[in-house]
A and B are shown apart, each in its own frame.
Chain A
Amino acid sequence: EVQLVESGGGLVQPGGSLRLSCAASGFTFSTCIMHWVRQAPGKGLVWVSRIHPDGNTPMYADSVKGRFTISRDNAKNMLSLQMNSLRAEDTAVYYCISYCLGAPLWGQGTLVTVSS
C-alpha cells in the first residue's frame, strides 16, 4: 500500500527538542522530493521544509530556519524532522508529503504541542 506514516509527536516544553519521523512505503521513496507541512490548531496549512532525493539543498520556512533540520534515510525509506528550540507557536499537526506520484500523497499527521 502506498502510504506515509508520521510519528514522534508529543508534548514538549518551550526550548525543548523533538524528532519527527515519516515512514514511506509502496513507492520509490529514494527518488522523491519530500516536504513537511504543518497546521496549527484551527489555522491553515503552512509549508515547513523540503529535501531532495539525495538529501542535498534542504530548504526551510523562515519561521523554522536555524532551529529545524530535515533529513532522510533512503535505505530505510524514512524522512525526519529534528526540531530544536521549540516555541509555543510551533504547536501544530505536522504532515509529511510527496508529490512524485502525480497525485499529492499525505500522511495522517502527528501532533506537536509546545507548552509548559
Chain B
Amino acid sequence: DIVMTQSPDSLAVSLGERATINCKSSQSVLKSSDNKNYLAWYQQKPRQPPKVLIYWASTRESGVPDRFSGSGSGTDFTLTISSLQAEDVAVYYCQHYYSIPLTFGQGTKVEIK
C-alpha cells in the first residue's frame, strides 16, 4: 500500500498570510503511461463531504479560488494557500489514486492565528 504522510498535522496562519501543506507518498504516484501524478487535494469543513481543490497534483478544480495551488511530482507534493481567508479554516487531505487501495494523508488542520 502507498502510505501518504502529511506535514504538519496542524498550522495556524494569520489572515492574508501563506499556508503551506506538504504531502509525501511512500512510492511514486507518477504514471509513465500518461505522465500524470495521480494525486488530489481536498478541503473538509465540519459536517460536510470533502471538497475537491486540486487533482492531477496541480490542476485546480473549477470554481476553486486561485489562491489555492498544488505543486510537486513523484513522491513530494505541496498545497499552498497564498493568502489565507477566514473561510479557509478546515482540514485538508491529500490522496493518491494511482493504485488500489486508494489512500489518504492523515489530514492537516488549518486555523487562524
Q: Do A109 and B49 contact each other (CB < 8 Å), given the known contacts A44-B104, A99-B97, A104-B97?
A: yes
Answer whether residue B40 sits at the interface, using C-beta atoms and an 8 A cutoff: yes
What residues of chain A lie closer than 8 Å to B104, measured between beta carbons? 44-47
Q: Do A106 and B49 contact each other (CB < 8 Å), given the known contacts A44-B93, A44-B106, A44-B107?
A: yes
A79 CB to nearest chain B CB (Å): 15
Q: Do A103 and B49 contact each other (CB < 8 Å), given the known contacts A47-B103, A59-B100?
A: no
B64's nearest neighbour on chain A, judged by CB, is A103
Question: A108 vs B95: C-alpha distance in the bound complex, in angstroms?
Answer: 18
B interface size (C-beta, 8 A): 20
Question: A105 vs B59: C-alpha distance in the bound complex, in angstroms?
Answer: 14
Is there an interface contact between A103 and B93, defined as CB atoms closer than 8 Å? no
Q: Can you list 26 A-B contacts (CB < 8 A)?
A: A35-B102, A37-B102, A44-B104, A44-B105, A44-B107, A45-B95, A47-B101, A47-B102, A47-B103, A47-B104, A50-B100, A50-B102, A59-B101, A61-B101, A99-B97, A102-B55, A102-B59, A103-B55, A103-B59, A103-B61, A103-B62, A104-B40, A105-B52, A106-B49, A108-B49, A109-B49
**Contacts A35-B102, A61-B101, A107-B49 supplied; 11 other A-B pairs, CB < 8 Å:** A44-B106, A45-B50, A45-B104, A47-B100, A47-B101, A47-B102, A99-B97, A102-B55, A103-B52, A103-B61, A104-B55
What residues of chain B lie closer than 8 Å to A29, measured between beta carbons? none
What residues of chain B lie closer than 8 Å to A68, measured between beta carbons? none
Question: A102 vs B58: C-alpha distance in the bound complex, in angstroms?
Answer: 12
Is there an interface contact between B103 and A106, defined as CB atoms closer than 8 Å? no
Question: A35 vs B49: C-alpha distance in the bound complex, in angstroms?
Answer: 15
A40 CB to nearest chain B CB (Å): 13
A10 CB to nearest chain B CB (Å): 18
B70 CB to nearest chain A CB (Å): 12
The A-contacting residues of B in range 8-62, CB under 8 angstroms, are: 40, 49-50, 52, 55-56, 59, 61-62
